[in-house]
Each structure stands twice: as structure tokens, then as C-alpha cells.
């Protein structure tokens, strides 16, 4: 599903690990993960590295609006009661 040899994934992985040309930067790692966590929650996805990559790369926009990804498995849940159309 995710091409780990792609340039975009390598950039994401460096940001996820906090790698910079001078070495590891824990503050950059924590701030990036915090932004990804907020983005995942706004999109209704569970926070994980895979879902964060989907949000970062824009692939989460291609999913159905009712789809949630857990461990590389797409799960579709019914809409909330107050949002159902009868």
C-alpha cells in the first residue's frame, strides 16, 4: 500500500524521526508528530504512523468519508445517529 522507497515517504520518515543534517532533533520530531496527531483527529483517523503518512501525502482525501484505517485495514463505520438520513 505504501511505497517505502518513494522520495515522499523518505522525507516523511526523516520528519517522523526528527532527523536533520546536523543529527537528531527531538523538538522537531515532537512538533511534527503533534501536528500529525491533530491532523489525524481532524480527519477522523486514529493516530498512527501509517495514518499520519496518509494525511501527510494527501492519500486520506481519496478515502471514503466514512472510512477509518486501522493497521492497514479500511473500516467503514455507520454514520452517527444524529447525522443519519432517513
What does the DSSP assignment read for 34-67? HHHHHHHHHHTPPPSHHHHHHHHHTGGGGS-TTE
Domain encompassing residue 74: 7-83
- Would residue 54 count as lying in a domain? yes
- Would residue 2 count as lying in a domain? no
pLDDT tens per residue across all 86 residues of the chain: 677 888 999 999 999 999 999 999 999 999 999 999 998 888 888 888 988 998 898 877 766 555 666 665 555 555 555 555 54
- Would residue 57 count as lying in a domain? yes
- Would residue 1 count as lying in a domain? no
Cell digits of residue 30:
515532537
Looking at the 3D structure of the chain, how many domains does it have? 1
State the pTM of this model.
0.68
Amino acid at each position: 500500500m505504501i511505497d517505502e522507497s518513494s522520495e515522499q515517504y523518505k522525507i516523511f520518515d526523516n520528519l517522523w524521526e526528527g532527523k536533520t543534517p546536523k543529527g537528531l532533533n527531538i523538538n522537531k520530531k515532537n512538533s511534527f508528530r503533534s501536528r500529525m496527531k491533530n491532523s489525524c483527529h481532524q480527519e477522523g483517523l486514529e493516530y498512527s504512523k501509517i495514518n499520519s503518512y496518509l494525511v501527510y501525502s494527501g492519500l486520506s482525501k481519496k478515502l471514503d468519508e466514512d472510512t477509518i484505517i486501522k493497521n492497514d485495514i479500511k473500516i467503514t463505520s455507520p454514520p452517527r445517529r444524529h447525522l443519519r438520513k432517513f
